[in-house]
Structure 1
Amino acid sequence: METSAKASINVEEAFLTLASDIKSKMEKRLEANNPPKGGHQLKFAENRKTETWLSRCNLL
C-alpha cells in the first residue's frame, strides 16, 4: 500500500490494515496452541491470571 505521511495519504488505512493483520496472525497462533473447547471459536482461559494481552486487544 502506498502512503505519504507528508500529504497524509493512506497513513491511517495502512496502520489499521497492518494492525488487523498482526492481530489476526496472533489469534491464529494462540488458537493453534490452545484449541477451542465447547464449540467456542476463541476461548481464553477462564482464570484471569492466565489471560493473555491478546484477549484485551481491540481494533476500532
Structure 2
Amino acid sequence: MQLWLLLFISGLFLVAFYVLMVLICIPVCYVQVKLGALFKRGIVGIFAILIPILKGLGNI
C-alpha cells in the first residue's frame, strides 16, 4: 500500500477513537464517579443496591 493511504486510514482511526472516547467513555466515567459520591460505595456495591440479584462481594 502507499504511504499516504496508510496515514489516511490511521488518521481516520484516530478520529473514530477520539469520538468514541468523548461520546461513550467519558460520560460513563462521569456517571460512575457521581454515583460513587452519592452512594459512598464502589461500582460493585452500587450494583448490589440498585440490582439486588447481582449481589456478591459488593455487599460487604
Which TM class, normalised by the smaller chain length?
Answer: 0.3 to 0.5
Question: What TM-score do you get using the length of structure 1 for normalisation?
Answer: 0.46
Which protein is bigger by CA-based radius of gyration? 2
Question: What TM-score do you get using the length of structure 2 for normalisation?
Answer: 0.46
